[in-house]
Amino acid sequence: MRVKLLLAGEAPPGLGASLLAALPAPFAGGAEELLAVDIRTCTDRRRRQVDAACLLAVVPEPPEGWAHLCIVGSDLCLPAVTHVFGLAELGSRRGVVSWARLREEDEPWTLGPVTRRRLLVEAVHELGHALGLPHCAVPDCAMHRSLWIESIDLKLPAYCPSCLAALATKAAASSARLTACEATHTMSGGGNAT
Amino acid sequence: MSRSVRLLIVDDEQHVRTSLACWFREEGYEVEVAASGKEALAALARGGAQILLVDIKMPGMDGLELQRRARELAPDCTIIIMTAYASVETAVQALKEGAYDYIVKPFDPEQVSRLVAKAAERYTLLAENRALKERLAAAEPRLVTAGSPAMAAVLALVDQVAPTETSVLITGESGTGKELVARLIHSRSARRFGPFVAVNCGALAEGVLESELFGHEKGAFTGAVGRRHGKLELAHEGTLFLDEIGDVSPKLQVDLLRVLQERTITRVGGAATIPVEFRLVAATHRDLEAEVTAGRFRQDFFYRVNVFRIAIPPLRERPEDVPLLAAHFLERFATQMSRRIEGFEEEAMATLVAYPWPGNVRELQNVIERAVVLCREARIGVAHLPFTAAPPRDLSLEAVEEAHIRRVLAMSGFNVAQAARQLEVDRVTLYNKIKKYNIQRP
């Protein structure tokens, strides 16, 4: 699975590249680009936050074999929830994650190593959801639920063996569907040729 | 961390319900959404949702009205009210009407996560509790007593002794249902979630029974290829039922007496003492007092076993139980064999009631099973029974008269007027006879 990081708004230099380089298995390679959307359209001015569900809706659908993760520095919320670190629709291969609440106090704009690690963990977490994984009970698995930032520090930026196995099963099923789809196209194409 | 609980989010604002659905799906819940009370009721009618998150202010049917109507459709569901205003009156009203809790929008993620997790846990516990109760009710042995005074007395004793830790001795002829009564005591005791371990002491040779009860270590004797846990160990924190305890050899009586005194055992061929904690229920068809007198049963062991005695009367002493027991077995076997048999011919029932039943309830069960196999008519007749009416053992006029009156009363369902007509005597005479023979209404 390859990942495209979509940077919404301004981001510290080199953040996307360092995140892509640190992504664990099963992610390999990837790319980054700016998301051509004005996040102000998803901003709740009264709450001074960005609606994560609205932002997720504008993340473009990825091609087969890719996942799209939007990274943003604004504070994310949901209409009925005060804040979220990120959001992804299960199995949609699309997610959003924010570093706004992951920062240490008085941290420079460039983001220190602690915040960068937290962002990596949460990026892996949202990508897991985007590939269909729910929360995991293993405390140091990236898919373990985090409701406050200290609990993010207890997790690893990687999946536990059972989550990896679940991802492999989902990837095999997806590959089988793709093969069947290609076979159908080939057969119908052959029919037209004759 | 996928959860087996399904949520239904009811909110008229589309972005609220879709974003919450997305968020709760990440949590591992199955989520359905509904835009109005009407949609929510339709979703509930389809079945599935166990926890409802309901917005209190919706056009048309509001959250409180939906809560009332949802309770009628799914009384077990848990309802959490969502409100944009911290209105005490609305919250109190919602809670009064049975809402589990209420939360104010926007929710703190930790708060809502905990609240829904608690609601899910409550639902799971309630469902488990219900399933366990059903399993327990299904597991409780059915004693078909037909309400005879003798069996009602047995059941009353069972109810009295079951909740205690007292050892019980059940006496009765073979086939009267001693093991069923033992199981009933276990299922109505605090140990009902522990094991019920039954051992038939009369069916095994002394050496085999010793190994069966105490277990053995590897190499304890020829053929002991591995360690084996005995029934006394297996009954730990449960009930040990020793059937035919009167057949236990004197040596094993000593060994069992030590176990009952010290509450520890040593496996055959082993050295370690293992603590065991069980309740003893024993049964026998023998007259244990006579066995003690004859020196075949140790007196000290007898006193240990015979703390609370329940005597099950033989079936011939309670002929009024025969019609209901027969009907019960008929229903069971007819269902098993997919037969449509409505009941018994009058003559067949009279034969069943008159028969002395030396094999007791077990024999009656076998006779009815055989009759269901043979019967091709709507009712079981005499031809389907393996015997014809047998003469009573006591041939004195009084005994025959008493047995006959009991039989006719049983056939009439203790309708004295009807029985008197069948006996061709007046009711006063029949009442006098009932009083004379101490025949009690079931």
- Quote the CA–CA distance of A90 and A125 in Å, as a whole number: 12
Residue B440's pLDDT is 79
- Whether the predicted pLDDT of A181 surpasses 70: no
Q: Which of A46, A47, A82 to mutate to test the interface with B (most CBs of B within 10 A)?
A: A82
Mean pLDDT along residues A66-94? 93
Please tell me what DSSP assigns to residue A109: T
Which residue out of A105, A126, A150, A182 is catalytically annotated?
A: A126
Q: A81 vs B109: CB contact, 8 Å cut-off?
A: yes
List the single residue in A80, A83, A135 with the smallest CB-CB distance to B105: A80
- Whether the predicted pLDDT of A144 surpasses 50: yes
The verdict on whether omega for the bond into residue B106 sits within 30 degrees of 0, i.e. cis, is: yes
- The pTM assigned to this predicted structure is 0.54
**Residue type at B32 in one-letter notation:** E
pLDDT tier for residue A194 given thresholds of 50, 70 and 90: very low
Residue A152 tokens read as 């993010």
- Quote the CA–CA distance of B103 and B403 in Å, as a whole number: 73
Residue B388's pLDDT is 67
Q: pLDDT tens digit string along B271-287?
A: 888 899 999 999 999 99
Q: A79 vs B19: CB contact, 8 Å cut-off?
A: yes
User: Which residues in chain B touch residue A56, judged by CB atoms under 8 angstroms apart?
Assistant: 22
Numbered residues of chain B with Cβ closer than 8 Å to any chain A Cβ? 1-2, 11, 13, 15-16, 18-20, 22-23, 25-28, 82, 105-110, 112-113
Q: B19 vs A147: CB contact, 8 Å cut-off?
A: no
- Quote the CA–CA distance of B20 and B15 in Å, as a whole number: 8
Angle in degrees, CA B347, B349, B350, rounded to 5:
65
Q: A129 vs B112: CB contact, 8 Å cut-off?
A: no
3-state secondary structure of B167: coil
Please tell me what DSSP assigns to residue B294: T
User: Which residues in chain A touch residue B20, judged by CB atoms under 8 angstroms apart?
Assistant: 78, 80-81
- Whether the predicted pLDDT of B315 surpasses 80: yes
Residue B347's pLDDT is 87
CB-facing half-sphere around the CA of B128: CA atoms within 13 A: 8
List the single residue in A79, A83, A147 with the smallest CB-CB distance to B113: A147
User: Which residues in chain B touch residue A87, judged by CB atoms under 8 angstroms apart?
Assistant: 19, 22-23, 26
Q: A81 vs B110: CB contact, 8 Å cut-off?
A: no
- Whether the predicted pLDDT of B391 surpasses 60: no
Residue B404's pLDDT is 85
pLDDT tier for residue B390 given thresholds of 50, 70 and 90: low
Q: pLDDT tens digit string along B1-21?
A: 556 789 999 999 888 898 889
- Known catalytic residue at A126: yes
**Residues ≥6 apart with Cβ < 8 Å to A169:** none
Percent share of chain A, pLDDT over 90: 56
Q: Which residue has the tokens 């848990």?
A: B78
Q: Any idea which of A75-79, A107-111, A121-125 has the lowest mean pLDDT?
A: A107-111
The alpha-carbon radius of gyration of chain B (Å, integer) is 31
Q: Which residue of B has its CA nearest to A53?
A: B19
- Whether the predicted pLDDT of B140 surpasses 70: no
Q: A82 vs B28: CB contact, 8 Å cut-off?
A: no
Residue A189's pLDDT is 42
List the single residue in A84, A89, A135 with the smallest CB-CB distance to B109: A84
Q: B108 vs A82: CB contact, 8 Å cut-off?
A: yes
Angle in degrees, CA B80, B83, B85, rounded to 5:
145
Torsion of CA A70, A8, A147, A21, to 10 degrees: 60
Q: B19 vs A52: CB contact, 8 Å cut-off?
A: yes
Q: A77 vs B11: CB contact, 8 Å cut-off?
A: no
Q: What is the ipTM of this complex?
A: 0.73
A9/chain B closest Cα distance in angstroms: 22
- Quote the CA–CA distance of B20 and B24 in Å, as a whole number: 6
Chains A & B: contacts with CB separation below 8 Å: 76
Buried b (16+ CB within 10 A) or exposed e, B346-370: eebbbbbbbbbbebbbebbbebbbe
Residue A193's pLDDT is 29
Percent share of chain B, pLDDT over 90: 35
Residue B136's pLDDT is 67
The verdict on whether omega for the bond into residue B323 sits within 30 degrees of 0, i.e. cis, is: no
- Quote the CA–CA distance of A90 and A92 in Å, as a whole number: 6
The alpha-carbon radius of gyration of chain A (Å, integer) is 18
User: Which residues in chain B touch residue A46, judged by CB atoms under 8 angstroms apart?
Assistant: none
Mean pLDDT along residues B408-413? 81
Mean pLDDT along residues B334-353? 89
- Quote the CA–CA distance of B8 and A176 in Å, as a whole number: 33
- Quote the CA–CA distance of A51 and A81 in Å, as a whole number: 10
**Residues ≥6 apart with Cβ < 8 Å to B300:** B257
pLDDT tier for residue B146 given thresholds of 50, 70 and 90: low
